[in-house]
Amino acid sequence: MKWILLIVVLCVSGPAWAGEARPLADDPAAEARLKHLAVELRCLVCQNQTLADSNAPLAEDLRREVREMIAKNMSDKEIIEFLVSRYGDFVLYRPPLKATTTLLWVGPFVLLTIGATALVITLRRRAHKVVDAVVSEEEHRKVEQLMAEGGKRS
C-alpha cells in the first residue's frame, strides 16, 4: 500500500518540477538565434561552459541582454561586438586571428611540422642502419647453431 502511495505521489509531483526548465521562448525564432549565439560565447564565471550551458546568474543576465538585442533586431555581429567591447575576446570560444593569437592558431601546425620532420629523419636513419648491418660468416654460423639448439629444446 505504501509503495502504491509513493508511486502515485512521484507521478503526480512530476509536472511540479518540470516547471523549472520552462522554455522562455515567446518567439521561437528569437530563441533559436539566442541558442545559436550562446554556444559561441563563453560564460565568464564558470569559464569552461558556454553561455548556453551555464546557470550562473551572470550568464542568465547576459542571455537576457542578448535576447533583448535580438528583439531590437541587432545583427549577430553587433551583438558579439557588444559583448567583446565589455568582456574582451575571452568571451568568444573561437578567438579571432590577431597578432597576440598567432601562436595559438599557428602553434599546432608548427608542432606538427616539427614532429613530422623528426619522424622522417629518424625513419631514414634507421633504414640506413638496417642496410649497413653486415653479418659475418662466423656470426651466421652461430645463428644457425643457436636456432638448431632452440628447435631441439621445444
Residue type, 111: L
Based on the shown chain and the rule CB under 8 A, indicate whether residue 44 belongs to the binding site for another protein: yes
Strand partners, 41: 92
> Which residue is associated with the grid cell 561586438?
81
Task: Quote the least distance from Cβ 18 to another protein, whole Å.
Answer: 27
Determine, following the binding rule CB under 8 A, whether residue 154 of this chain makes contact with another protein.
no
Grid cell 651466421 — which residue? 140
By the rule CB under 8 A, 58 interacts with another protein: yes
Q: Which of 38, 55, 37, 33 is nearest to 46 (CA)?
A: 55
Residues β-bridged to residue 92: 41
Taking a C-beta distance cutoff of 8 angstroms, is the pair 64, 74 a contact?
A: no
The answer to the question of residue 28 lying near another protein (CB under 8 A) is no
Q: What is the residue type of 67?
A: R
* Among 9-17, 30-38, 87-95, 136-144, the segment contacting another protein (CB under 8 A): 87-95
List 30, 74, 80, 84, residue binding another protein (CB under 8 A): 84
SS3 content of the chain, % helix, strand, coil (to 5): 75, 5, 25
Indicate the residue among 30 and 87 with the shorter CB distance to another protein.
87
Residue 57 lies near another protein (rule: CB under 8 A): yes
* Distance in angstroms (rounded) separating the CA atoms of residues 42 and 59: 9
- Residues from 106 through 135 that contact another protein (CB under 8 A): none
Stretch that binds another protein, among 33-41, 43-51, 131-139, 143-151 (CB under 8 A): 43-51
* Residue corresponding to grid cell 608548427: 110
Q: Report if residue 99 touches another protein, rule: CB under 8 A.
A: no
Residue 118 or 123 with smaller CB distance to another protein: 118
Which parts of this chain interact with another protein (CB under 8 A)? 44-45, 47, 57-58, 61-62, 65, 84-88, 90
